[in-house]
Amino acid sequence: MRDSGDTFHLAIPVYDLAEAVEFYVGRLGCKLARRYPDRITLDFFGDQVVCHLVERPAAAAPPGLYPRHFGVTFRQAADFERLLRLVELRGIPVFGPTSIRFEGLAEEHQTLVLRDPADNLLEFKHYLDPRMMY
Amino acid sequence: MRDSGDTFHLAIPVYDLAEAVEFYVGRLGCKLARRYPDRITLDFFGDQVVCHLVERPAAAAPPGLYPRHFGVTFRQAADFERLLRLVELRGIPVFGPTSIRFEGLAEEHQTLVLRDPADNLLEFKHYLDPRMMY
Amino acid sequence: MRDSGDTFHLAIPVYDLAEAVEFYVGRLGCKLARRYPDRITLDFFGDQVVCHLVERPAAAAPPGLYPRHFGVTFRQAADFERLLRLVELRGIPVFGPTSIRFEGLAEEHQTLVLRDPADNLLEFKHYLDPRMMY
Amino acid sequence: MRDSGDTFHLAIPVYDLAEAVEFYVGRLGCKLARRYPDRITLDFFGDQVVCHLVERPAAAAPPGLYPRHFGVTFRQAADFERLLRLVELRGIPVFGPTSIRFEGLAEEHQTLVLRDPADNLLEFKHYLDPRMMY
Amino acid sequence: MRDSGDTFHLAIPVYDLAEAVEFYVGRLGCKLARRYPDRITLDFFGDQVVCHLVERPAAAAPPGLYPRHFGVTFRQAADFERLLRLVELRGIPVFGPTSIRFEGLAEEHQTLVLRDPADNLLEFKHYLDPRMMY
Amino acid sequence: MRDSGDTFHLAIPVYDLAEAVEFYVGRLGCKLARRYPDRITLDFFGDQVVCHLVERPAAAAPPGLYPRHFGVTFRQAADFERLLRLVELRGIPVFGPTSIRFEGLAEEHQTLVLRDPADNLLEFKHYLDPRMMY
Amino acid sequence: MRDSGDTFHLAIPVYDLAEAVEFYVGRLGCKLARRYPDRITLDFFGDQVVCHLVERPAAAAPPGLYPRHFGVTFRQAADFERLLRLVELRGIPVFGPTSIRFEGLAEEHQTLVLRDPADNLLEFKHYLDPRMMY
Amino acid sequence: MRDSGDTFHLAIPVYDLAEAVEFYVGRLGCKLARRYPDRITLDFFGDQVVCHLVERPAAAAPPGLYPRHFGVTFRQAADFERLLRLVELRGIPVFGPTSIRFEGLAEEHQTLVLRDPADNLLEFKHYLDPRMMY
């Protein structure tokens, strides 16, 4: 179990800060903590995500889930389902359908992948057995 | 405050799984949770980091802290200092010297940046004012 | 998640301290912490509400929910329902019917508004999605 | 001790939403949760404060601490002192000097009163004896 | 909510220490912490009860619930029901039938009264509304 | 460690309810939860104490600490010291001087005994070794 | 309730470290914390188990449950059932069938006994009444 | 961090139940939970230790720390020091002197080894860096 007093923090690139606020705060329900000319900091499900402003690349490869993505693994199924409901109600762009991975194995989990406006991929998971969260 | 029952999870590229185990488990004191032919999963300070095996690129740009890095922000200064001690005792590669950022501002924090064998950069922080952790 | 060691505190006007004790302690089930000639302090659902004695105005405007009211947002639906039951059993004055706000949106929540003897309005809420509590 | 899963919520009037964001988020270090045309919602030290947009009155009485104000009572002196430091570093407008109230009595506490751009007064406190927080 | 680090402690008279161990540890499932020639100390549902050895009175009045008794108020109904099951399985002496008190009022609660070998009465309760536990 | 969701509860005799409110709420800083014609209920350091009104006996024996008394064992020395300060500031009647018991043994603890207006004795303790709290 | 900051630790003999890693990490879902030439340390359901390498005895008695075994008592039935599912999905060797012990008594509990490659026996339990966990 | 709701449990052999109660409860300050003709169960620093009665062997090898021992790793140095004080005050038999292991390495820890009347060895530890507790 992680320490509720610490936070994970992750820095990611975005191409437009207003667009990032609209996606992370307006859609995904994160909280805006600080705003600088070149970055915003977010309370992302209780951890810190910092969006750094970078140049939009001339030509980007299509995004892929591997090897880079981030997200939250919920202990409670209800939290995963609430996020599904939020995604539907607010029309948040999904990267492929919600699926079950490692079905029939101990590591079985539901997974939902979202795509932010800068093509960062966010994976949210719920495991049948919480000991498999690591 | 984040929920201690959930976990943040982050997927990163590595070039060699044994090297990753040596760095994250043998040096940094993380715990090895699962091992697959193409990835390992780690209990990284209570959150999940998954190291996906990718081809080592022919020529890589020198690593830079922006826009991508990840780590932990410790609420207690003692936890930051213990990590400094670990880094010294075990000779973990540091990416530039430990420094104080935003000195004299409300956001003032100490920061330590490590470099893993696949050139992922890890930033660990401690803020004078824990409300600035986001 | 808020810190359970701190308390929010709110100071409000009342016109009669005995009336305030009867409403907040005798009806609403708050606890009386301290009593002074010109104020009482309450443990109001775990936070502090201080009722300051003021002159009853000659002519008061009818109370309105905006822009001033206060209350508690319950994480658990059961706590909201227990308050509804208390209100009914003890005949606590309600300001308009219990309703659902932002129905069909992510922010959907149930709301109950009470009216204290000094026309302060108290709003109690329960959100379908606890991340919308802020 | 209050329940860390619930939140207190308070609705207050403001005259300008951007000004309120600047004060509560940019200065006081609160987090912006949601933004509507006529209100913003804040994660205010872990509780919810909603700022409702109202007309700026033609002539307002000078603000007074009684009977209406709100704030946080910190259990730890260090949290009170961190707020003092923030107020100084960021030049947040203070309503009268920091003082000790009920000195030499069991209820002795330090108090700091801030003034937001709509003349709402915020009182932050720390009691020598945490049982007096109510 | 009480502080889980502190303990309530209560000293009561008993007429026979072995009898008290048999009742409190052997039947009621408390834990024996310390044993002295003239007293035993118990971990009684997480709080401390000390049984002091006194002379058995020549003639004792029949025990009554008022004004002296002690016990635990369970937040969860399941804990109350588990105690009922324990009482039945181990044949613990009950002082009158299990009953519902203040039925139909906000203070409604189930109550079970046990009688120890020295005629101390123990009352266990569960309230429909946990805010009525005080 | 006890469950912070449950409460210990204790019923004691008092001879005058107003006198009991004055002692427990006005002096000792407990909170008044409910008031009935024949009893009051208190939030006593997080647990429930119920004061039942009984006839003042014609002639009472002088109060003695054994076999009946009740109180709180504080885990933190600071909480014990804060109570000492409260007792001094508010002139609460003490039953004999503050003392150290079992000095030089593992069970060593500080103890303070108070006397309420109905001659109930309250013992507050702090152990050097918290494992001895039971 | 035990302190979540401490850990129980247990040292046991194993005959082969790789075999122990395969059993405890690969099958049982424990985490590998540290690896030395003569031992491995495990995060075993949140506590520490150290496997010390010893010579495989020429002839070992068949393993028996008494007087030596170790394991976890789960408070929640769901955790016991998740372990049963893991055992089945991953074909972990069971030492006799899952059974109910002390049936019809207060101490009634379900029990599952596993056998590691060095014939250490692991017992996992779930009690109907959590107060019987000790 | 382990789950405070679960318990580790360990079964060990003892040669005399009264002797075991005297050592574990009378000396070490554990709590006696249950007593059967052939075993006792203990609340051992919050976990369960069951002492099973076995025949005292005719000739026992001298006890050794490897590969079998058990104990508690304290997060706080103060808890380790309190145990040292208890051992001294109550003359609990120590197996070799208190020592520092892995000195100058990240795994550095203090260790104290006790010996119960059946020659079970108990190791108590405190690590400079709590992340090394596993």
Q: Does residue A60 or residue F58 have the better pLDDT?
A: F58
Q: Which tens digit of pLDDT belongs to each residue from A82-116?
A: 999 999 999 999 998 899 999 999 999 999 999 99
Q: Which residues of F touch D132 (CB under 8 A)?
A: 29
Instruction: Please report the pLDDT score of residue C96 as a whole number.
Output: 82
Whether the per-residue pLDDT at E45 is higher than 90: the answer is yes
Q: What is the 3-state secondary structure (H, E, C) of A80-112?
A: HHHHHHHHHHCCCCECCCCEEECCCCCCCEEEE
In this complex, how many residue pairs, one in chain B and one in chain C, have their CB atoms less than 8 Å apart?
5
Instruction: Please report the pLDDT score of residue D126 as a whole number.
Output: 98
Nearest CB to E3: which of D1, D2, D3? D1
pLDDT band (50, 70, 90) for residue D101: very high
Instruction: Please report the pLDDT score of residue A44 as a whole number.
Output: 98
Name the nearest CA neighbour of D45 among D15, D81, D7: D7
Instruction: Please report the pLDDT score of residue D58 as a whole number.
Output: 86
Q: Which tens digit of pLDDT belongs to each residue from F80-96?
A: 999 999 999 999 999 98
| Partner-chain contact A2 H3, CB within 8 Å | no
Q: Which residue has tokens 């028996």?
A: G64
Q: Which residues contact A5 (CB under 8 A, 6 or more apart)?
A: B1, B75, B76, B130
Enumerate chain D positions whose Cβ falls within 8 A of a Cβ in B. 4, 29, 31, 45-46, 82, 85-86, 89-90
Q: Which tens digit of pLDDT belongs to each residue from G88-129?
A: 999 999 998 899 999 999 999 999 999 999 999 999 999 999
Q: Which residue has tokens 């009621």?
A: E28
D84-105 burial, b if ≥16 CB within 10 A, otherwise e?
Answer: eebbeeeebeebeeeeeeeeee
Instruction: Please report the pLDDT score of residue G21 as a whole number.
Output: 98
A83 vs chain B: nearest CA distance in angstroms?
14
Q: What's the CA gap between B13 and B39, in Å, rounded?
A: 9
Please state, rounded to an integer, the average pLDDT across all residues of chain A.
96
Q: Which residues of E touch D1 (CB under 8 A)?
A: 1-3
pLDDT band (50, 70, 90) for residue A58: confident
Whether the per-residue pLDDT at F59 is higher than 90: the answer is no
The residue in chain F having the minimum alpha-carbon distance to the alpha carbon of residue E44 is: F134
CB atoms within 10 A of CB H36: 12
Beta bridge partners of B35: B40
Instruction: Please report the pLDDT score of residue A31 as a whole number.
Output: 98
Q: Where are the alpha helices (DSSP H) in chain D?
A: 17-21, 77-89
Q: What is the 3-state secondary structure (H, E, C) of E66-117?
A: CCCEEEEEECCHHHHHHHHHHHHHCCCCECCCCEEECCCCCCCEEEEEEECC
When pLDDT is averaged across residues E11-25 and rounded to a whole number, the result is 98
| Partner-chain contact H129 B29, CB within 8 Å | yes
Question: What DSSP element (H or E) covers G8?
Answer: strand G7-14
Nearest CB to F89: which of D106, D130, D131? D106
Q: Which of G23, G24, G25, G32 to probe by mutation at the B interface, max B CB count within 10 Å?
A: G32
Query: In terms of CATH architecture, what is E9-56+68-133?
Result: Roll (3.10)
Q: What's the CA gap between F134 and C69, in Å, rounded?
A: 46
| Partner-chain contact H129 B4, CB within 8 Å | no
DSSP, collapsed to helix, strand or coil, labels residue C131 as helix
| In chain B, domain spans | 9-56+68-133
- Full DSSP string of C44-101: ETTEEEEEEE-PPPSS-PPP-SSS-EEEEEESSHHHHHHHHHHHHHTTPPBSS--EEE
Please state, rounded to an integer, the average pLDDT across all residues of chain E.
96
Angle at C120 between CA C119 and CA C123, to 5 degrees: 125
pLDDT band (50, 70, 90) for residue G11: very high
G106 vs chain E: nearest CA distance in angstroms?
6
Q: Are E69 and E63 in contact (CB under 8 A)?
A: no
Q: Which subunits count as partners of chain D given 3+ CB pairs below 8 Å?
A: A, B, C, E, F
Instruction: Please report the pLDDT score of residue D9 as a whole number.
Output: 97
Q: Are B14 and B52 in contact (CB under 8 A)?
A: yes
pLDDT band (50, 70, 90) for residue E96: confident
Q: What's the CA gap between H59 and F76, in Å, rounded?
A: 48
Helix count and strand count (H, E) for chain C? 2, 8
Burial class (CB in 10 A: 0-12, 13-18, 19+), B66: middle
Q: Which residues of B touch C3 (CB under 8 A)?
A: 1
Q: Which residue has tokens 């309120």?
A: D20
Question: What DSSP element (H or E) covers D91?
Answer: none
C87 vs chain D: nearest CA distance in angstroms?
19
Q: What's the CA gap between D77 and D110, in Å, rounded?
A: 9
Using 70 as the pLDDT threshold, list the residues of chain C that sit under it. Answer: none
Ramachandran angles phi, psi of B41, nearest 5°: -115, 140
Q: What's the CA gap between F6 and E74, in Å, rounded?
A: 5
Q: What's the CA gap between H129 and A51, in Å, rounded?
A: 32
Instruction: Please report the pLDDT score of residue C1 as a whole number.
Output: 81
Q: Are E68 and G23 in contact (CB under 8 A)?
A: no
pLDDT band (50, 70, 90) for residue B15: very high
Q: Which of E24, E32, E48, E86 to probe by mutation at the H interface, max H CB count within 10 Å?
A: E32
- Which amino acid, F65? L
| Partner-chain contact A82 C134, CB within 8 Å | no
Please state, rounded to an integer, the average pLDDT across all residues of chain G.
96
Burial class (CB in 10 A: 0-12, 13-18, 19+), A82: buried
C-alpha gyration radius of chain C: 15
Q: Are H74 and H130 in contact (CB under 8 A)?
A: no
Q: Which residues of B touch H132 (CB under 8 A)?
A: 29
Q: What is the 3-state secondary structure (H, E, C) of chain F?
A: CCCCCCEEEEEEEECCHHHHHHHHHHHCCCEEEEEECCEEEEEECCEEEEEEECCCCCCCCCCCCCCCEEEEEECCHHHHHHHHHHHHHCCCCECCCCEEECCCCCCCEEEEEEECCCCCEEEEEEECCHHHHC
Whether the per-residue pLDDT at H112 is higher than 80: the answer is yes
- Full DSSP string of E32-75: EEEEETTEEEEEETTEEEEEEE-PPPSS-PPP-SSS-EEEEEES
Are chains G and F touching, using the cut-off of 8 Å on CB pairs and a minimum of 3 such pairs? yes
| Partner-chain contact A2 H2, CB within 8 Å | no
The residue in chain G having the minimum alpha-carbon distance to the alpha carbon of residue A127 is: G82
Cα–Cα distances (Å) from A124 to A83, A113, A119, in that order, read: 9, 6, 16
Q: Which residues contact B59 (CB under 8 A, 6 or more apart)?
A: none
Name the nearest CA neighbour of E46 among F2, G3, H6: F2
pTM above 0.90, yes or no: yes
When pLDDT is averaged across residues D74-100 and rounded to a whole number, the result is 95
The residue in chain B having the minimum alpha-carbon distance to the alpha carbon of residue A80 is: B6
> Could you give the count of Cα atoms lying within 13 Å of B62 in the half-sphere of its Cβ?
1
H1 vs chain A: nearest CA distance in angstroms?
5
Q: Are H113 and H95 in contact (CB under 8 A)?
A: yes
The tokens describing A51, both together, are: 């969006």
pLDDT band (50, 70, 90) for residue E53: very high
Instruction: Please report the pLDDT score of residue H59 as a whole number.
Output: 81
